[in-house]
């Protein structure tokens, strides 16, 4: 088996196992159960940590976008999201446009 196929198969199986384990662990619990509230908090905190690291200290191709451009995109996107009734698409486009604009200005 080629390394790429082996890595893909192992990662896919492990990710499936994580999802199945979560569903099995939570079976029978209600949304008010403290374990559910804790798991939700951990999921949201992990996502927030991922976003923070991806914006402040990204790996790969994203690292070539200047920090100021990444921060401008994040800032305007979130501001539009909060200011215009949580509408995702305008917020996404505004954030992307701000990132592109600042990147172009700094180039």
Tokens read off for 88: 């995702």
Give me Rg for the CA atoms of the chain: 19
Backbone angles phi, psi at 31, to 5 degrees: -65, -20
Residue 83 beta carbon to another protein: minimum distance, rounded to whole angstroms? 11
Q: How far apart are CA 89 and CA 100, in angstroms?
A: 17
Give the integer Cα–Cα distance in Å for 23 and 39.
Answer: 12
Least CB distance from residue 77 to another protein, whole Å? 5
Report the nearest approach of another protein to the CB of residue 68 (Å): 13
């Amino acid at each position: 088996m080629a390394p790429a196929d082996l890595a893909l198969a192992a990662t896919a199986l492990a990710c499936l196992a994580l999802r199945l384990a979560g569903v099995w662990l939570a079976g029978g619990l209600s949304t008010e159960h403290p374990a559910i509230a804790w798991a939700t908090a951990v999921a949201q905190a992990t996502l927030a940590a991922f976003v923070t690291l991806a914006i402040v200290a990204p790996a790969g191709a994203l690292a070539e976008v200047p920090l100021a451009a990444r921060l401008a995109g994040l800032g305007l996107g979130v501001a539009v999201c909060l200011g215009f009734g949580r509408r995702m698409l305008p917020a996404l486009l505004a954030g992307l446009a701000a990132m592109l604009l600042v990147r172009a200005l700094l180039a």
